[in-house]
Every structure is written in C-alpha cells, then in structure tokens.
Chains A and B, each alone.
Chain A
Amino acid sequence: MTPAARWTGPAALLVLWQGLALAGGGWLLAGPSEVAGWLWSNPGLTTRAVAVTLANATCGFVLGNGAAIGLAVIAALWPRAQNLVAGLALVVFCLPLIATGPILRVLMGPGEGPQIVLAALAVYYTTLIPMLAGLRAIPSAWLDLVQSYGRGRWAELVHVRARASLPYLLAGLQISAPAAILGAMVGEFTGAERGLGVLTIRFTRDLDIPALWSMGVVAAGLSIAVYAAIGWAGRRVLPGTPPVILAPPRLIRGSPARRLADTALLAAAALTLWWAGIELLGLNPFFVKRPPDVAAAFFGSPDTRAALLDAAAKTLALAVPGYLAGLALGAGLAVLLSLRPGLAGLMVPLAVALRSIPIVTTAPLVVMLLGRGAAGTVTLVALMVFFPTFVACQQGLRQAPGPILDLFRSHASGPGRQMLHVRIPAMLPALFASARMSVPAAILAATVAEWLATGRGLGNLMALSASVSDYTMLWLAMVAVTLISAMIYGGIAWAERRVLLVMAPEQVRP
C-alpha cells in the first residue's frame, strides 16, 4: 500500500463522520470538529484520565500475559495437564466482568486493584490460546530430532517450541493490548476514582454528547495506538519474516468417554479452586458465596430461579443473532478483501476503529443511536465479534498452501475456484478458533449493553444485584453466565471437529 492509499481510508471515514454529525444537527452525534474542540478545552482532565487508565491497563497486560505464558509453558511441559489448564482458563475467561468487577471492588477497596485484575482477566485468554497452539504447531520431525539426542520436554521447549510459538505469542499480545484497556475501563466503572471509565460514566449520566464522544475517541485512539505499537514491536522482533504459522494447531482428540471424564475433572477442579480459594483467603462470606450457597439459592427459591432464567433467555435472544452476524461479517469481509484487495485501504482502518473503541464507551452511544430495542444490542455484539474474526480469517486465508494454489493456477482455475477449494478450507480452522474465542466477548457485549443502556437481561440483573448488595443473586448470575459461555464454547468445539473432519481432514488428524 502506498502512503497515500493508507490515509485515504481514515480520511474518508473522518469526512463521513463529520457529514453525519452535521446532518444529525448535534443530536446524539458529535462530529470530529466538536470532539477536537472539547478535547482542546479540557486537556488536563483528558491527559490525567488517560495516564491513569493506561497505567492500570499496562499492569494488567503484564500480569495477565505473564500468567498466560506461564500456563502455556506448564501445558507444554506436562501435556496431560493441557486440557485441564485450558479448561480452567476458559472458565475464568467466561466469568462476566460485570459481576467480577463489583465483587473485586468490595473485596479490594477503592484503589486501582480491580482495574488491574480486570485488565489481566481481559487479556490472558487471548494470549494463552494462541500460545498453546503455537507451542504445539511444529513438525513432529523437529521433536524426533530432539528425542534422538535423548533430550526431553524441557529441551524441546527451549530449543524448538519457544521460538516456534513466538509469532503466535506476538499475535496474541497484539490482540490483547486493546482488551487490556477495555478491562481497565470496566474496572473503573465499578466505582474507581480516576480514569477514562470514570469520566465516561459521568458524561453518560449528564448526557454530555460531545464529552462522551471525546471519551470514545480518546479510548479508541489509545487502543489503536497500543495495537499498532505491539504490531510494530513484533515486526522488530521478527524482522523480515512474516509470522509463518507452520501447521494448524492440533485438536486434542479423545474418545467420548475420555472427553466426559475430562469435563468432570474440570468441573471438580473448578469447584475445588472456588471453594478452597475462599477458605484459604478467608474472604468475607457476605460478599463471597460458596458453591453450596449458590446451589441452595437456585434450587431452593423458585422466584430466584425464574428471575435468573428469564434474564438469561432475554440475553441469549439478542446475543446469539449478534454473534452469528459478527462471525458472518468478519469471515465475509476477509473473503471479499482477499478477492478485491483494493478495498483493504478503506475497510481495514474502519475495522480497527470499530473494534478498538472500547465497548463500554460504544454501548451507550450505539444504544442511543439505534434505540433500546433489539437492534442496538445485536449491533454491539456483532461489532465485538466482527474484528477478531476478520483478523483471524484474513490470516487463515493467507495460510492456503502455496504449492496447491500453484497447482490450481496451472489448471487455469480462477480466483473464485481457488477461494472455494483451497483458501476457504484453509480459513476454516481460523474461523472456528475465532468463533470459540468470541463467545465470552459476545456475552460481555450483550450484558454491558443491558447494564448501561437497555436495563434488561442478565447484565441488568447483575448490575441491580450489585447495587442492592444481593450478592447471592450476583454469584448465581455469574455462575450462570460462566456455564452458558462454556457450554456454547463446547458446542462450537464439537461443531468444529465435525466440519473440519469433512472439509479439512488433514487439520484434525494428529
């Protein structure tokens, strides 16, 4: 791309935005000029908030990614632990930030603690999963080489796996950088004293449209900046060589009985960690509920159960269509751009901008623009799912094996046929990986919209329970959201195996 072409996309977006703002006459939509004006007259306020949010996000980024790398290394050294590590990590990742936020707040007090923990929680999974894949995505001959010198898993890790996983790690870190800012801002929503999230809450309450859009722009700019910075650093670390993904991550297979045993072990481990953690840390039983408390609330009180199930149904009714739309848009756009690369200049910046604006600032705006009905929430969920899917699918399409493409070209098969027979099968594993990873994100987007704007569903239930100190209900909702996310995730993993067995069998066999 020429420098000129690179800037036409963002410039066109800017003009479009200003045009819309002028057409709207200042109603709910502040244009670039108003945002610039607001920022110009409030420089100190903005800079201080940015500094606080960025500091918390950085701490969370380091902690979360450090934990992810550590867990991935453990799984690489003890392959038997891999399913358990990935499973527990998934459970923690499925915890709804909206419920964990207030609980962390009452446990940790008014400082920066919850923001940092939430930022860490928001990033670690998107790093752990590519790392796990990267540590395994190597030709078995390399492992034979290490074994032929009588060396074990540690030498494999040091000499082969670590370096082979580096491109995956960098890809994960890049995706997690904006997520850290999102996590820190959600933490700030739960009653922090300083930061972008605090300002956003204030301006939403005051309906101060220019200020609210300015927060959105600053948060988006910050997210784009950290995304670009990690991307740049990544290219410095791996000069010249684009991150080659040598082989698709292998799925761990097993008989149905083995998978059932794994699931049971995972459930037992999660419950044990939950219960033992509370006892060991001596947490206040008023704020922190144990497994039996939650079970008693669900099975003992029909009213509570009805309220919970009703809220869950409302949330899923909007989250599922938005999720599917986001997946379809992401994959569709990636395919379109690969067939018509000229459009990339316009679409890629738009995609990055849409994704980077932290959901917490977009939620009120999108819902204000599209109304409190279904459209707003569905759009928000779709936006949240769209970008990671788009990036993953673009990468997947590039994975199409060169020799096979050459074979198609030699038979004068056009781009359409190549797409259908070679590129799309090569993209499917990436699409499914993204579909799995996006489940908790979709639930987060739906519950955030419900909490901040529409006042219904699980998001509202959690916010309401937190504000009236009904911690039993809050824990119940948290467990429900986690279970729902984990079950959808499992369902997609199941579908993934089915589809890949037919469409891309070489990707499933070990």
Chain B
Amino acid sequence: MDRPGPPAPIECTGLSRLFDGSILAVDGIDITFAAGRTTALLGPSGCGKSTLLRLIAGLEEPTAGQVRIAGEPPAALCRQGGLSIAFQDPCLLPWLTVAKNVALGRKLARQAPDPQGVDQIINLVGLGGFQNARPASLSGGMRQRAAIARALITRPRVLLLDEPFGALDALTRRQLAQDLPPLWQDQAATTLLVTHSVDEAVMLAHRIVILSPRPARVVADIAVPLPQPRNPESPAFRRIVGEILAQLARGGEMAQSLAAQ
C-alpha cells in the first residue's frame, strides 16, 4: 500500500476560535503532538473538542493563532491526502455501498484503487460480509466502523477521530479498543482521539490531554507509560484512570472559579 508519507507532528500556537463574535470555543491553546503518537482528548460536552479537531483539519479558520502540521498549514497536508478525519456523525454517502464508501477515501485522496486493501480494512473493523450493504441497512455502530475504515484506508499521516465509538455498545467498544491499537501502531499516524470514556483513552493513547469546559484550555497533560496490550483490570491502569477522573473534576472547579472572577 502506498502512503502519503511518515507521520507528521502537529503544532498549535495560541489557537483560538470565536463563533458569532461571542461564543469562544477554543481559547489560546498551545500544544504540540509528536509524530506517530496517539493522544486522547478528554473534556466535558460542548467544551470545544470537535472545534479543535476541525481547526487542525483546516475545516475551520482560527480567529487567532495557527496550526502547523510538519511545519506547514493544514491545507498542504490535506491536499496530499495525508489527513483523515472521522466525524462524530459517520457521514457516509447513502447511495454508496460500505466498500465504495471506504474506497471513496482513497479516491478523494487521489490514491490508486486498492480493492484488496478495502476488503481487508472492512474485515478489520468487523464489517466482513457487509461490503455490499448500504449505510441505511447498518446499525449506528456499524456505520461508525465504516467511517473509521474510510479514515484508515488512506494510511494518513494525521488521523483525527471524533468520538469514533460514540454509538457503540460497551462490549463492542471494548472489543474495538482492543483490536485497534495494533492497527494504529501499524499505521503509525499522528492520532488525535476525542472520547468521553476515560477507560478508552487510557486503553488507546500514549498521552491524555484534558480540556476545561468551554472555552477549551488545556488543564492537564498526562503520559500513559503502559506497554500495549494493556489490561484494563491492572492496578497501574486503574491508577491512571483515577488520576484522570480527579483531574476532570478539578477542571470543572477551575472553570467555575474562573467564571466567578
């Protein structure tokens, strides 16, 4: 399989986004994401996580600050087909089969068709046998898995996943969280994963960034020094989960005191 290039580092400096002149969604974020690492973004609902991903994907213009991916604006990487984003909503085209929806990723990235690769990735996300099904006949979770497959098929340099497991049941979530790390490591893309599940974040990420309630600011930045595969029952795992839950609670308090000032 061809791929657009090695994983690319992402650098945000003073990144802000104001909506409609008054809603500040992202407020002066300075952060870098090292090439080839997976970072989970945690934060309360509506805090600006999706907005941050959209800024990094170049789908939203910052009102202040900038995003640089491998030293260039996001648009440059997008034009190479080196960036994939899986939206909160699966965003499949209803008239295409699952296989064609996945293949659309390659088409849009101007990569040569690769039917075997498409088949392989569909099996990997657990949709084997549904290649020729249309999105309308899939469950919400199956649609999300198809969207993940479409994001992975281009072997991107930067992979942005916005709550990719949002519509999945707890069991399938855990299953995917176990299946996906090898896949990600194989891809070695710089991955940002937005999630609401602390377990999932600790399971999948090298690093966990906790954002404050809107406007999003970084309140904690935690490394996860556990080797893969990780065991969610292990004491080390539980300790990190506990630390993160404490940080999340503190983030809420911090925002409240900021708002009170």
Contact = CB atoms under 8 A, between A and B. Distances in A.
A and B associate in one complex: yes
A3 interface: no
Residue among B93, B95, B108 with max Cβ neighbours from chain A (10 Å):
B108
Interface in A272-300: none
A142 B93 CA distance: 8
A25 B149 CA distance: 74
Given A148-B59, A149-B108, 19 more contacts: A141-B87, A141-B91, A144-B91, A145-B85, A145-B108, A148-B57, A148-B78, A148-B84, A149-B78, A149-B81, A150-B77, A150-B78, A150-B80, A150-B81, A150-B83, A151-B108, A159-B104, A159-B108, A160-B93
Nearest to B83: A148
B238 interface: no
B139 to A, nearest CB: 16
Interface in B71-85: 75, 77-81, 83-85
Contacts of B104: 159
A146 interface: yes
5 A-B pairs with least C-beta separation: A150-B78, A150-B79, A149-B108, A141-B91, A148-B85
A139 interface: yes
B89 A141 contact: yes
B68 interface: no
B109 interface: yes
A139 B91 contact: yes
Contacts of B75: 150
A290 to B, nearest CB: 48
Interface in B117-140: none
A155 interface: yes
A142 B105 CA distance: 12
23 contacts: A139-B91, A144-B87, A145-B85, A145-B91, A145-B108, A147-B58, A148-B58, A148-B78, A148-B83, A149-B78, A149-B105, A149-B108, A150-B78, A150-B80, A150-B83, A151-B108, A159-B93, A159-B104, A159-B107, A160-B93, A163-B93, A241-B95, A244-B94
B78 A147 contact: yes
Main secondary structure of the interface of A (DSSP, over half): helix
B95 A163 contact: yes
Interface in B85-108: 85, 87, 89, 91, 93-95, 104-105, 107-108
Nearest to B106: A149
Nearest to B154: A149
A145 B77 CA distance: 14
A148 B91 CA distance: 13
Contact of B108 (A146, A163, A241, A244): A146
A144 B54 CA distance: 9
Nearest to B136: A241
A143 to B, nearest CB: 9
Interface string A148-170: 11110001000110010000000
Contacts of B83: 148-150
Contacts of A160: 93
B95 A142 contact: no
A144 B151 CA distance: 13
| Chain B CB within 10 Å, residue with most, of A139, A145, A149, A151 | A149
Contacts of A155: 108
Contact of B59 (A139, A144, A151): A144
Contacts of B89: 139, 141
A286 to B, nearest CB: 54
B226 to A, nearest CB: 31
Contacts of B154: 149
A142 B83 CA distance: 16
Contact of B109 (A149, A163, A244): A149
Interface string A379-393: 000000000000000
A146 B105 CA distance: 9
A145 B87 contact: yes
A142 B85 CA distance: 12
B60 to A, nearest CB: 9
A159 B106 CA distance: 12
A150 B59 CA distance: 10
A364 B31 CA distance: 78
Contacts of A149: 78, 81, 83, 105, 108-109, 154
Nearest to B85: A148
Nearest to B57: A148
Contacts of A139: 89, 91
